[in-house]
């Protein structure tokens, strides 16, 4: 009942921002997603993280909506999507994302941006379908094989309020007021089948290493929180060193949930990457001149 209410509030809020709710039926999956921005705008797909929902991208969506056509899927039952395991894991995400992109953008290559688990999905999709991705934006992304996975698992396996407090220390330098008030909802999300089934389905085969990252041909931005307590800035530097056309930007005074704690800094970093990549490759914006809007 709680997550149904969250889904309804999300749909209403995004509707007020100008987004439209759509549904993609694909076998047993009924994917809820939102579309926002001009139809001829730059095609973007935004993937949220574990235990999260599409509306957490809203600060970034507001800043991109004038020039980008954004598609933002709900990757679990927490946001109203129906799927057999209540959540879409890394392995299952590829085919679903491909169908979604084809439906909304046809053959147009997209800029794919993902945060945390969404960044993990984005990297795996870009490796499997490089021709479909014009630019890749990895924000505090998971999936890099060479890191302390035992510590990461200890943090994300939340069972009680003490677990919430431990994870919050990894997510935030300064906990936003809305997250302070919603600890009980956060606990319900991280103890839900949507989160636990996704975690249970992850395997080493879903991860990637330096040799994999070296195969990414597209311009890639790595935007990372200085104080990310899940996937450290050291991990970001190792990934950036492995990706041929990478741009790394570390955002100071932020934790892992940078889109919630430092949304303005994140949006500005995204805009800098857009400007830089469009200067060198005008086709990324459809061949049209592009000027960074005010943040």
φ and ψ of 81, to 5 deg = -75, 145
Burial class (CB in 10 A: 0-12, 13-18, 19+), 178: exposed
Share of the chain above pLDDT 70, in %: 91
Task: Give the pair of three-digit tokens for residue 263.
Answer: 């949304």
pLDDT in tens, 112-154: 999 999 999 999 999 999 999 999 999 999 999 999 999 999 9
* Pairing assessment for the beta strands 68-73 and 42-47 based on DSSP bridges: parallel
User: Model pTM greater than 0.85?
Assistant: yes
**What are the residue ranges of helices labelled H in the chain?**
2-17, 58-64, 90-105, 117-128, 149-156, 161-171, 177-181, 183-190, 193-201, 210-213, 233-242, 258-261, 263-280
* Closest to 89 measured CA to CA, from 58, 118, 123: 118
Distance of CA 223 to the CA centre of its chain: 11
pLDDT tens-digit series, residues 258-280: 999 999 999 999 999 999 988 76
Strand pairing category for 29-36 and 246-251: unpaired
pLDDT at residue 217 in the model: 97
**What 3-state DSSP class applies to 181?**
helix
Closest CA to 47 of 39, 57, 37: 57
DSSP, collapsed to helix, strand or coil, labels residue 114 as: strand
Structure-token pair, residue 292: 């960074």
Supply angle C-alpha 151, 223, 134, rounded to 5.
120
CA 190 to chain CA centroid, nearest Å: 17
Domain covering 2-285: architecture:
3-Layer(aba) Sandwich (3.40)
| pLDDT tens-digit readout, 3-36 | 566 666 777 788 888 899 999 999 999 999 999 9
Alpha carbon dihedral 50, 9, 27, 22, in 10-degree steps, equals -120
The predicted pLDDT at position 5 comes to: 60
- Per the structure block, which two tokens stand in for 3? 């997550």
- Can you state the angle between helices 149-156 and 161-171, rounded to 10 degrees? 130
Greatest alpha-carbon pair distance for the chain in Å reads 52
- Residue 290 pLDDT > 70: no
pLDDT in tens, 220-235: 999 999 999 999 999 9
244: Cα within 13 Å, side-chain hemisphere: 8
Domain boundaries, the chain: 2-285
Exposure on the CB side of residue 169, measured as CA atoms within 13 A: 8
Per-residue pLDDT for 169 more than 60? yes
* Residue 129: both structure tokens together: 């379908």
Q: How far apart are CA 259 and CA 274, in angstroms?
A: 17
Residue 1 has pLDDT above 70, yes or no: no
Of the listed ranges 5-14, 79-88, 192-201, the least confidently predicted one is 5-14
Instruction: Measure CA 266 to chain center.
Output: 12
H/E stretch holding 113 reads strand 110-115
Residue with tokens 């069972």: 159
DSSP 78-89: GGT-B-TTSB--
Tens-digit pLDDT profile for residues 239-252: 999 999 999 999 99
């Amino acid at each position: 009942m709680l997550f149904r209410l969250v889904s309804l509030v999300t749909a209403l809020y995004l509707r007020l921002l100008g987004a439209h709710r759509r549904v993609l039926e694909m076998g047993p999956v009924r994917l809820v997603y939102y579309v926002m921005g001009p139809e001829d705008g730059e095609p973007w797909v935004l993937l949220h993280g574990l235990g999260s929902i599409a509306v957490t991208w809203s600060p970034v969506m507001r800043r991109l909506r004038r020039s980008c056509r954004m598609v933002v899927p709900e990757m679990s039952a927490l946001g109203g999507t129906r799927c057999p395991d209540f959540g879409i894991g890394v392995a299952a995400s590829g085919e679903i994302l491909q169908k979604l992109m084809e439906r909304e953008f046809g053959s147009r290559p997209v800029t794919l941006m993902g945060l945390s688990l969404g960044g993990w999905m984005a990297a795996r999709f870009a490796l499997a379908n490089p021709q479909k991705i014009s630019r890749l934006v990895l924000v505090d992304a998971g999936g890099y094989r060479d890191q302390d996975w035992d510590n990461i698992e200890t943090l994300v396996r939340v069972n009680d309020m003490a677990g919430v407090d431990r994870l919050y220390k990894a997510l935030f330098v300064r906990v936003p007021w809305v997250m302070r008030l919603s600890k009980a909802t956060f606990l319900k999300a991280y103890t839900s089948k949507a989160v636990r089934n996704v975690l249970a389905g992850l395997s080493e085969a879903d991860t990637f290493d330096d040799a994999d990252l070296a195969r990414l041909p597209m311009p890639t931005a790595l935007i990372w929180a200085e104080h990310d307590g899940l996937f450290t800035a050291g991990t970001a530097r190792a990934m950036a060193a492995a990706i041929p056309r990478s741009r790394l930007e570390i955002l100071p005074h932020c934790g892992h949930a940078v889109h919630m704690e430092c949304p303005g800094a994140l949006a500005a970093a995204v805009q800098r990457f857009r400007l830089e990549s469009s200067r060198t490759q005008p086709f990324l914006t459809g061949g049209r001149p592009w000027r960074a809007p005010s943040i």
